[in-house]
Amino acid sequence: MNGPRKDKKYVGIDKDINGGMTDTGKLIRDAWIFGLIPEEETCEGWPLTGLQNLWEQTSAEWEKYGFLPSNLPPEILERFKRIHDQGIQRAKANGWNPDDEVHEGNA
């Protein structure tokens, strides 16, 4: 019963829907910000357990800063802004429109 889900692999942030503007895409960008994986790593082919481990590591890093970008040290904040700005530009170039997003409370 758990077989197909256990074996599921991630497509990679560069092939993800919405130009990578997904929860998994955000996780990968955050992992880049904290240097947990190199920025060239798309996580293509990663199993769900690998992404779960990455989420735990990324969450532990965010916890150090109260989960607020404004609490990041300047060098990490600069990387945060650069990586997220590039992600937004790349997603828009691939057809993502933030105005099409359904936000909790607006549905």
Domain boundaries, the chain: 9-97
Give the model confidence (pLDDT) of 40-98 as tens digits. 999 999 999 999 999 999 999 999 999 999 999 999 999 999 999 999 999 999 889 88
Q: How many CB atoms lie within 10 A of CB 105?
A: 5
With contact defined as beta carbons under 8 Å apart, do 34 and 59 qualify? no
- Distance from C-alpha of 37 to C-alpha of 45, rounded to nearest angstrom: 15
Instruction: Give yes or no for residue 1 having a pLDDT over 50.
Output: no
Which tops the pLDDT comparison, 102 or 107? 102
pLDDT tens track for 16-33: 999 999 999 999 999 999
Q: Count of CB atoms within 10 A of residue 100's CB?
A: 8
